[in-house]
Chains A and B, each alone.
Chain A
């Protein structure tokens, strides 16, 4: 069973558009991480969020952790082709179980 549900599974947008991907669960998470994976490479950590309601920014990427620590979102402003990749969320729930979501494949075309 998938502890973390990511949506959408696939997103294709034009350069300059904004996008949001979601990571949801019925469980409470002590922390949640976002990774980006490019073809032929392993995932690379983008950010870790630990506090409910927390917002972190990384250039054009904005990460939010839900107040109840059950969900998170990643918003990309003015997407660029270099943002293309598989975005994965991962977290540890209150039972100590750590799991990755299935990921959202983002394609940004020029």
Chain B
């Protein structure tokens, strides 16, 4: 009964390092999302993929790239990490479209020193 699985759960990086956050869903959903959550800011959309083969920018895409590897997997890459990217990152999926209920992973807590 996995749902949405994110790896890693925790990560500490130095400024300038790169890393990829992984996300996989087993619900055969078409749409997938990456959010960041900061205190008092709620969830802000970084990138989304409405369906396999497509990706689009969200509200805060700068400094990030994504890859929709297949229907199950959607990864988020930080090419050159900055302290402002310290946050909790959530991956979510929905059957189709963002108006549908979204299912979330448990998040990746990322600290950039």
Query: Which positions in A face B, CB cutoff 8 Å?
Result: 2, 9, 30-31, 33, 40-45, 48, 88, 90, 92, 98-103
B108 to chain A, nearest CB (A): 11
B104 cross-chain contacts in A, Cβ below 8 A: 42-44
Does B102 sit within 8 A of A, measured CB to CB? yes
B residues bordering A, Cβ < 8 Å?
A: 4, 35, 40-45, 59, 90, 92, 98-99, 101-107
B40, A102: Cβ atoms under 8 Å?
yes
Nearest CB in chain A to that of B9: its residue? A40
Partner of B106, one of A40, A92, A98, A101: A40
Q: Which residue of B lies closest to A1 (CB)?
A: B59
Give which listed residue, A9, A30, A43, contacts B43 with CB less than 8 A.
Answer: A43
How far, in whole Å, are A42 and B2 apart by their CA atoms in the complex? Answer: 13
Q: Residue among B4, B41, B90, B102 with the most chain A CB within 10 A? A: B102
A31 interface neighbour in B35, B99, B103, Cβ under 8 Å: B99
> B90 contacts which chain A residues (CB < 8 A)?
42-43
Tell me, rounded to whole Å, the shortest Cβ–Cβ distance linking B42 to chain A: 4
Q: How far is the CA of A2 from the CA of B40 in the complex (A)?
A: 11
Task: State the CA gap A39–B110 with chains docked (Å).
Answer: 16
